[in-house]
Structure 1
């Protein structure tokens, strides 16, 4: 019973130590490691080196992979480059095995690292800013070695309770059973590092043989991919492709290692004799690095071909504006806000184009309907998904460097909902003798929407097209006032009926409000700017404080049409 308690407690302490160490180092480094990962991914080889280095520093391939998924979903890293990072993360995670084999098992560091746990706890409780995250990392580092010591004590008595030798002869059936044990245990621990540490400890205490330990390590490499599989369920297509690449790479490397096991074991034994390496834990760490390295040599030169095959296995059959929104980006607010801006820009384009087409088809006797029912539902779902994702982006410590972006995007999503309501409402048919100002308004709105689509595509800098959009919105507001005065005169003179007057004013009100929403959406979705302190904010003008007000008058004879759902004011 004592042996079991020590073993389980040691594994738990090790897992907690790894979690604290990874989270602490990730928070302490801030965006530095993420920017380094993004910067050095120009080619598959550079991406591989970047993924290896970042994983060695963070002590977690999962942290690297999650950050990578965010980059890929945001369009900052191409998929072939992502494959290089995935392979680098798999190789980088073998570094922990070397650390344990050379330090953790050679010297009983648990006693000497206890002060680190105390210092780290005090920094976490009493420190401020990055000192608190450094305290987490120190406490995690100390707890990691305390866990290894506890596991060693438990493993010394484990051989009398459990032995893999009882599985029978050393044949393929036995190998497969041991491999499955490694996979299942890794899935249960949710950490290949913990499984490798447990295997190294068992080997060091004589609980298992070297060949059995090697197969368990292969199982750990395969089993660790299940964490990504579970995380990718319900994720974006790019997230699923990245996880599939991780699964196929580790699975292929593991199968190759299992098939070549006698050869690899002979090679490790030869290296031990030639280089003077110690048998046991260090040899197992070398075996782990060796078979992952073989996989890298086989796959990295063909990263582009590998990427094409995965894209064929998981094609993007129905791309949508929210396809790039992935929960992995929430850990990097700058990425998340960039993706929501892209999503809203695409939704805006999907609204502007059919409205512009409807304006071109406006003619007497025909009702104006911009969006079909199925398209209304699709865009409404996209808006709801974007709003939900935006609400889940975490707030940073005060002062929040993303406060300006958050506020701008809240305004943008509000205007998009209002524009969606306008586009989903069918206007009454135009009268037989429409005034010229009405036709000018339709033509002006159509031109404005097309310029907005071109501007949001990013082909022109905002200073070239945003002033034009604003001027066109003001022009439409002026046309509405002109139409109101003209319609009042024509109605009082008996030229038009009251019904025709209200119909004209309703249409002009619709045109002016669509133009207003178009201008404000473009205004809030313009690229952010960095201030002198490096904080990302969007430039503002005097009209922003009057966002809810009309560009024109509010006292029309005809009120706006009743809109379903949200207010369309």
Structure 2
């Protein structure tokens, strides 16, 4: 293997490394803002496409945008058609990389210029604070892109006249199909459509391929990006599988459209290349890449809702209903994983409250659905295992605090579920007038919580109810002990009633703390970092 080939392979590696580092840095800088922009401005599939394109262009990662969209659907923050708009727009956002490379990488030859910026970027990463470190990482990654391109160009130089368009399939219908397949394979190997597009740009600039051949490969690279989405459909949650299928079908449709547009576009491109001077071939290629992606989005957006319904029919829900939102793929983005956990906790809380409202209903016999409670307990155990797998950095206080809040809420939820099995204590509530009235107050409160599960007013109401029960517990205890001491009540009856008032107090406490921690997690998730990073979660110190 000669050194030129090693230089070519190394250039591809440097470019991929630069993309990874750049994306990591930009996500660190804009991750929180990205999530707020996507949820705030995505109201329809059209606005979703715009925010998806802009977000992907900024963070240089369509996969990160897609994962965020999936998590928003899982958390109930976006509908599936809205999320589809984001995914469609992400395809447009990925083409920005090609424009940057075509304009700066080939026209300005920045390989030597950016070397000092790698040193500066690494220094910022090593010695700066968290934000400066992310800026340094993004700067170093951006610089590596151009060094990788220059290395690829130098590696390709000796092969001019050896690797020519005649080496590749002819510019015919079947030849283009083969080129599309080659492009898809390149993306499968590199796991980056951007790297594939840059390789096509380098080959085009070296004269190794014609415009039509390079464009056909770019179509294949766009289709090849769906491989990761297709893998995500295996064993993923319903939202992930639906998104994966939508991504595959949409990109395949766009690829077919682009394939038939290639002929007419090549005629315009050849004229522009002949008269446009140096770099016009590369500009034409990235223009084609952007054009067919934009056209694909414009054609699909009017049919986003019917398309979403089709996908839902193809990929129906499966598995336990309470665990539909949890997906191992979300663990790559802790903020998205936390979103899914919060929504899952709310679902489980709704089930437990439903069971509890029936137990507290004086018109019903004292009975609970053991199978339903078993499914709740299984969902709690699985959710806890999922939470244990989430890894958040304490330096990223906003996400870390939300993670801690879910742990607190889940702990109280597990204990609340256990209270549902203590039917003997609930039954005692019907035996005495004061206990009966207090249990009615608790039932009215949890029924209100069912109707307004995410209202901040409910947290305040639950806190007031808990305070009432705390006070009543002390008063009632003194009264029962006195009656027992005077032989007006058996010791057994006294203990049963004390257990029941304690049950009411603890249930009200768990409900209040669950709502408190969930509300805090949701509130912190909406705040800008400057505010939310300074917030601290309160510790629960009351005994169980």
Fold match by TM threshold 0.5: yes
Which residue of structure 2 aligns with residue 53 of structure 1? 54
The residue number in structure 1 matching 2:208 is: 207
Structure 1 counterpart SS, 2:42: coil
Q: Distance in 2 between the 1:536 and 1:116 partners?
A: 30
What does residue 370 of structure 1 align with?
A: 368
Instruction: Indicate the residue corresponding to 1:557 in structure 2.
Output: none
CA gap 1:414/1:263 in 2 versus in 1, 3 angstroms: same
Report the more deviating stretch, 126-135 or 13-22: 126-135
Contact preservation (8 Å) 1:187, 1:224: yes
Instruction: Tell me what 2:185 maps to.
Output: 184
Match of 1:556 in 2: none
Aligned to 1:474: 470
Shift of 1:434: 4.0
Query: Cα deviation per residue 1:216-251 (whole Å; 9 max; x = unaligned)?
Result: 111100011222333464443223333333222221
1:337-374 CA distance string (max 9 Å, x none): 554333323322211221221222588xx7x44341x3
- Whole-Å Cα distance in 2 between the matches of residues 194 and 232 of structure 1? 24
Alignment partners' CA distance in 2, 1:277 and 1:251: 33
The counterpart of 1:525, out of the listed 518, 524, 542, is 518
Q: Decide whether aligned partners of structure 1 residues 412 and 538 sit closer, same or farther in structure 2, where only a CA change above 3 A counts.
A: farther
Which residue number corresponds to residue 112 of structure 2?
111
Aligned to 1:343: 344
Give the corresponding residue for 1:564.
none
What is the correspondence of 1:382-397 to structure 2 with a 5 Å cutoff?
382-397=379-394
1:519–1:257: structure 2 CA closer, same or farther, 3 Å change rule?
closer
Q: CA offsets, 1:21-55, max 9 Å, x none?
A: 12222223453344334443334333323222232
Q: Gaps (5+ residues) in structure 1?
A: 549-568
Q: Quick one: which of 506, 513, 517 aligns to 1:513?
A: 506
Contact 1:480–1:512 (CA<8 Å) still a contact in 2?
no
List runs of 5+ in structure 2 lacking aligned partners. none
What residue in structure 2 maps to residue 6 of structure 1?
7
User: Distance between the aligned counterparts of 1:179 and 1:404, measured in 2?
Assistant: 47
1: distance between equivalents of 2:400 and 2:93? 36
Deviations 1:446-475 (A, max 9, x none): 3343244345342x6246623442245336
Q: Which residue of 1 aligns with 2:82?
A: 81
The change in CA–CA distance for 1:33 and 1:509 in structure 2 (over 3 A counts) is: closer
Secondary structure at the residue paired with 2:48? helix
Q: Offset of 1:191 from its aligned partner?
A: 0.2
228-237 or 353-362, which deviates more: 228-237
Q: Deviations over 1:101-143 (max 9, x none)?
A: 3332344432222222222222222222322222212221221
Distance verdict in 2 for CA 1:538–1:104, change over 3 Å: closer
Q: 1:538 to 1:526 in 2, by over 3 A?
A: farther
Equivalent residue number for residue 127 of structure 1: 128
Give the whole-Å Cα distance in 2 for the aligned partners of 1:325 and 1:429.
33
Counterpart position of 2:304: 303
Farther off after superposition, 507-516 or 270-279: 270-279
Q: Distance in 2 between matches of 1:102 and 1:181?
A: 25
Coordinate RMSD, CA, aligned? 3.7
* Larger of the two Rg values belongs to structure: 1
Q: 1:538 to 1:23 in 2, by over 3 A?
A: closer
Aligned residue for 2:444? 447
Distance in 2, Cα, partners of 1:41 & 1:434: 53
Matched, 1:90 2:91: yes
C-alpha displacement of 1:157: 4.4
CA distance in 2, matches of 1:523, 1:93: 40
Q: CA deviation at 1:172?
A: 3.9
Instruction: Find the aligned partners of 1:34 and 1:505 in 2 and give their Cα distance.
Output: 48
Give the alignment's TM-score, normalised by structure 1.
0.81
Confirm or deny: 8 A CA contact 1:268 1:286 kept in the other structure.
no
Aligned length: 538
Give the CA deviation at 1:396.
4.3
- Name whichever structure is richer in helix by fraction: 2
- Relative to 1, partners in 2 of residues 1:524 and 1:484: Cα closer, same or farther, differing over 3 Å? farther
**Matched-pair contact (CA < 8 Å) for 1:40–1:50:** yes
1:547 aligns with 2:504: no
Deviates more, 1:265-274 or 1:532-541: 532-541
The answer to whether the 8 A contact 2:454-2:519 is kept is no
Deviation at 1:284, TM superposition (A): 1.8
Within 2, Cα distance between the matches of 1:423 and 1:270?
76
Report how far residue 179 of structure 1 moved.
1.8
The answer to whether 1:456 aligns with 2:453 is yes
